[in-house]
Amino acid sequence: MARQRLLVVGNGMAGLRFLEEIVARAPTRFAVTVVGAEPVAAYNRVLLSQLLAGEVAAADILLRPRQWYEAHGIELITQQTAEALDCGAGRVRLQDGRALAFDVLVLATGSDPLVLPVPGSTLPGVATFRTLADSAGLDEFAASGRPAVVIGGGLLGIETAVGLARRGVPVSLVHVADHLMERQLDAEGAALLAEAIAAKGVRLFLRQSTRAIRGSSGVEAVELADGRLLDCGLVIMAVGIRPRTGLAARGGLGTGRGIMVDDRMQTSQAGVFAIGECAEHRGTCYGLVEPCYEQARVAAAILAGEPQRYQGSVSATNLKVSGVAVFSAGDFEGRGADSIIVRDVGVPSFRKLVTRQGRLTGAVLVGDVRDALWYRDLIRAAEPVTPFRHALAFGQAFAEAA
């Protein structure tokens, strides 16, 4: 029996994880082709800031070499974008005019970085930071010694600012909210992070929006809403992402903020699936790696004939931000709920656990994150923690002993 033609559009982290899963689950069922827009095979975007800081080499962030694709019979096409989708004919047309036929299609097209529509945003010297090519451009700028401004105090903005600071670049970080990483941290946890970032040489401007980017032939300064000017030769926008839905929309698939999928990760068209940052499941688009990997696993299982469903993900962040360990999950703000808070100013360390109706529903850890995965599992399981609530803040070993 002829193998089904499986086409994957997008060779980022979600696309590659899907390939790994399908190779493990159904190694002989499909003839697989994967198309990537970048000139290189899939790499770990999470490590781009460490590459910028000089902590890792480009070879260190490669996830799978080209030989891996060859060894598993996967045709890898790089430096090509998919321009048109015809679901009825089962074809995708690439930018070079090639038409690729498919029986099953998986869209893992990812996201595009947002750029604030302020005056001067199209000047040379305004950049984003999402790809290896972006990293190379920032690396070249770092050698100039000129100051930079990063707009956006989320994870990417913080890591970019610190990475440039480690390269000796004078950096200012501008953030519109009253604390950093407001989607992952409460105010107190973010304050500890802000202290650590400032200690690394990054100037912080919180509660500040950007009025304009000034310059004639290139970036010269950022004008804040209060009128202050921050001199710079580079502005990096780290203000969010937008799911890449253009190909799906042109192909007649249902789209909202992302490409809409059901619990099987299938789109509005049978035999066409979407995973990762481009997918919208039950009204939610996920921008973190773990949910994207969960979606890849479910889609591969479905195509391998296994009865699985994606029920959504508990938003959890477990990472090291500029050398400071940070974890958050669930409803970390906990408005109207009970909160357990532990502070250790000397370390510094901060721990906040949120409970509702006897169940753990949110957590924030800064500094000591050894029990992060245990707290995450408790949140996901939604089982009562009342029997050991008195010991909950002290971690898994203590709570289980109690």
232 with 247, same domain?
no
Per-residue pLDDT, 331: 84
**CA nearest neighbour of 42 among 5, 21, 68, 7:** 68
**CA nearest neighbour of 204 among 234, 227, 224:** 224
For residue 266, what is the DSSP state?
A: B
Per-residue pLDDT, 322: 67
Q: Is residue 121 part of a domain?
A: no
Per-residue pLDDT, 1: 63
Q: Is residue 116 part of a domain?
A: no
What is the C-alpha separation between 368 and 9, in angstroms, rounded?
39
Q: What CA–CA distances, in Å, run from 209 to 94, 146, 222, 238, 298?
A: 39, 22, 10, 13, 40
According to DSSP H, which parts of 112-201 are helical? 132-142, 155-166, 187-199
Bond preceding residue 387 cis, omega within 30 of 0 = no
The boundaries of the domain holding residue 200 are 126-237
Instruction: Kindly state the helix (H) or strand (E) to which residue 234 belongs, with its residue range.
Output: strand 234-237
What is the C-alpha separation between 196 and 394, in angstroms, rounded?
24
Per-residue pLDDT, 302: 97
Q: Is residue 310 part of a domain?
A: no
In sequence order, the 6+-apart residues with CB closer than 8 A to the CB of 91 are 85, 99, 100, 101, 102
| Boundary of a domain, candidates 237, 258, 288 | 237
| Boundary of a domain, candidates 184, 211, 237 | 237
Q: What CA–CA distances, in Å, run from 31 to 19, 36, 95, 269?
A: 12, 17, 22, 21
What is the C-alpha separation between 324 and 336, in angstroms, rounded?
29
Q: Is residue 297 part of a domain?
A: yes
335 with 295, same domain?
no
Q: Is residue 293 part of a domain?
A: yes
- Taking only the tens of pLDDT, the chain with its 402 residues reads 689 999 999 999 999 999 999 999 999 999 999 999 999 999 999 899 889 888 899 899 999 999 999 999 999 999 999 999 999 999 999 999 999 999 999 999 999 999 999 999 999 999 999 999 999 999 889 888 899 999 999 988 998 999 899 999 999 999 999 999 998 888 888 998 898 899 999 999 999 999 999 999 999 999 999 999 999 999 999 999 999 999 999 999 999 999 999 999 999 999 999 999 999 999 999 988 989 999 999 999 999 999 899 999 877 777 777 678 888 988 888 788 899 998 877 777 889 999 999 999 999 998 888 899 999 999 988 889 999 999 999 888 888 887
Q: Is residue 265 part of a domain?
A: yes
pTM of the model: 0.91
Is the separation of the CB atoms in 9 and 36 below 8 Å?
A: no
Q: What is the DSSP string of 177-231?
A: SSSTTTTT--HHHHHHHHHHHHHTTEEEE-S--EEEEE-SSS--EEEETTS-EEE
Q: Is residue 311 part of a domain?
A: no
Tokens linked to 9:
């559009």
Provide the CATH number for the domain around residue 380: 3.30.390.30
Number of domains observed in the structure of the chain: 3
Q: Is residue 261 part of a domain?
A: yes
